[in-house]
Structures are given as C-alpha cells and as structure tokens.
C-alpha cells in the first residue's frame, strides 16, 4: 500500500500547486485586463479551479493523515459554484448602469458598449422594480 500513499501524496501536492497557481493567474488577470467586463473573467478561474484545487488537496491530505474521508470541503465548493455567477451578474449590472451614467472612470472596452436590445424595452436591469419607484440611474 505504500506506493499508493506515495501516489496520493503526489496528487495532493499537484492539486494544491495547481489551485494556488490558478488563484495567482486570476488576480494577475484582474490587474492586467483593460476594463471591468474583461476583468470579470480573471477571478472566475480563482473561484473554480483555484479554490476547488486547494479543497481537493485538503480532502486528500486529511485522508492521508487521518485515514478517513471528509466531505465537508465540498460544501464550500458547492456554495461558491452557486454564488459566483450571481455575484458576477450583479457586477456586470453595476458596469451597465455606470456606462449609462457616462461615468468618466469607465470605458466600454475593446469590444465597445454592449448593443441595446431590440424593440421598445432596454436592458431589464434599467427598469424600476415596481411601477412607482424611480429608476435609480436615470439622469433627470
């Protein structure tokens, strides 16, 4: 069984290194990419592979050291996988509203401003939640 423990140790070390490297790549992307819409892409790597790799490494190390499988690390992965798209959607909404206000600190980026959807309506996030609430970023 000792060769199996050696292989498991090697795999655990590999996934920890992989996770940490992806966290670094995500933050490097956050610094390097030009505008907020591009910067949303960098940290997604840190969320999925970065934290995921370190959690898999944690499961393997606890199996190696204590001899029992532990599943509660998967809770963190599950929760991050559920919440990360919602957080990214909210930040993209902030970007759209700031673009609409013509915030001087924001540029639309290499791809240009996102095109308006066709028809009468604009983006759904521009609409007021109730009929009588004013639109938050309207400029009158």
* Chain residues that interact with other proteins, rule: CB under 8 A: 9-10, 12-14, 16-17, 19-21, 23-24, 26-28, 30-31, 36, 39-40, 42-43, 46-47, 50-51, 54-55, 57-58, 61-62, 65, 70, 72-73, 75-76, 79-80, 83, 86-87, 90-91, 93-95, 97-98, 103, 105-106, 125, 129, 133, 136-137
Q: What angle do CA 79, 44, 38 make, to 5 degrees?
A: 145
Q: How far is the CB of 127 from other proteins (least distance, A)?
A: 12
CB nearer to other proteins: give 86 or 111: 86
Interacting residues of 43 by C-beta distance below 8 A, sequence separation 6+? 26, 27, 29, 30
CB nearer to other proteins: give 31 or 118: 31
**Cα–Cα dist 15/31, whole Å:** 24
Task: Take residue 65 and report the two structure tokens written for it.
Answer: 């050291």
**Cα–Cα dist 33/42, whole Å:** 8
Task: Take residue 123 and report the two structure tokens written for it.
Answer: 């983006």
Q: How far is the CB of 121 from other proteins (least distance, A)?
A: 18
Q: How far is the CB of 93 from other proteins (least distance, A)?
A: 6
């Amino acid at each position: 069984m000792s060769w199996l423990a050696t292989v498991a140790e090697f795999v655990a070390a590999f996934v920890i290194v992989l996770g940490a490297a992806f966290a670094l790549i995500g933050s490097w992307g956050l610094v390097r990419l030009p505008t907020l819409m591009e910067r949303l892409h960098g940290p997604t790597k840190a969320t999925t592979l970065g934290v995921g790799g370190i959690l898999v490494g944690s499961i393997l190390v606890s199996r190696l050291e204590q001899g029992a499988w532990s599943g509660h690390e998967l809770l963190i992965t599950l929760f991050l996988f559920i919440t990360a798209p919602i957080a990214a959607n909210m930040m993209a909404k902030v970007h759209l509203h700031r673009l609409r206000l013509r915030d001087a600190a924001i540029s639309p980026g290499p791809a240009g401003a996102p095109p308006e959807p066709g028809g009468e309506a604009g983006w759904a996030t521009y609409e007021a939640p109730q009929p009588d609430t004013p639109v938050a970023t309207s400029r009158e």
